[in-house]
Amino acid sequence: MMKISHKERQTLGMTYGTTGCAIEYARRGAIEEWLQLFLRNDGGNVVFADGLLLEPRTYTGPVRMDITKFGIEEGPPSYLTRADEIAGFYDIVEQMTECYSGWDMPPLIVNYADGRFEINDGRHRNVALHQMNITYAPVIFWTSSEEDQRYISEYLSEERAEYI
């Protein structure tokens, strides 16, 4: 399978991988459908898409949030240990920073559970945003429990999150 760079995706146009597309689906009450389409197509994260279907989830967003407040680890994920894997991670980040001004970046997909936030899709995007000193970005939250969803609702209200 041929890999397409982020620059090429920008030029070719992504089918689902834009915040604009996520907003369209959210307005129709179909953000879960967008997540599945994005993850299975442009996002290339089928394992995560399958995992989301294992039990009922609640989705919120997209919202524009200050992503520095999540306390999410920066840099490549800890499972990337070889130098070539880490270099590959940063190559993708660099491509994203180069095309950012003309790119309608897909939202970060963030889980809230057990008192912590975790990016499940968008680690490269998160690092690119931090490198460019961009603090506000589109986010879609997902939770698996009513308690965690209540927290997200309260958190977004306290932070005065902007639904986009």
Q: Output the DSSP codes for 108-164.
A: EEEEEETTEEEEEE-HHHHHHHHHTT--EEEEEEEESSHHHHHHHHHHHHHTT-EE-
Identify the pLDDT of residue 42. Answer: 87
Dihedral sign for Cα 145, 151, 155, 156, please. positive
Query: Per-residue confidence at 99, pLDDT binned at 50, 70, 90?
Result: confident
The pLDDT tens digits of the residues spanning 133-161 come to 999 999 999 999 999 999 999 999 988 88
pLDDT surpasses 50 at 1: no
pLDDT surpasses 90 at 112: yes
Identify the pLDDT of residue 10. Answer: 45
For residue 68, what is the DSSP state?
Answer: G
- Edge-to-edge strands, sheet with 116-121: 116-121, 108-113, 136-143, 58-66, 162-163
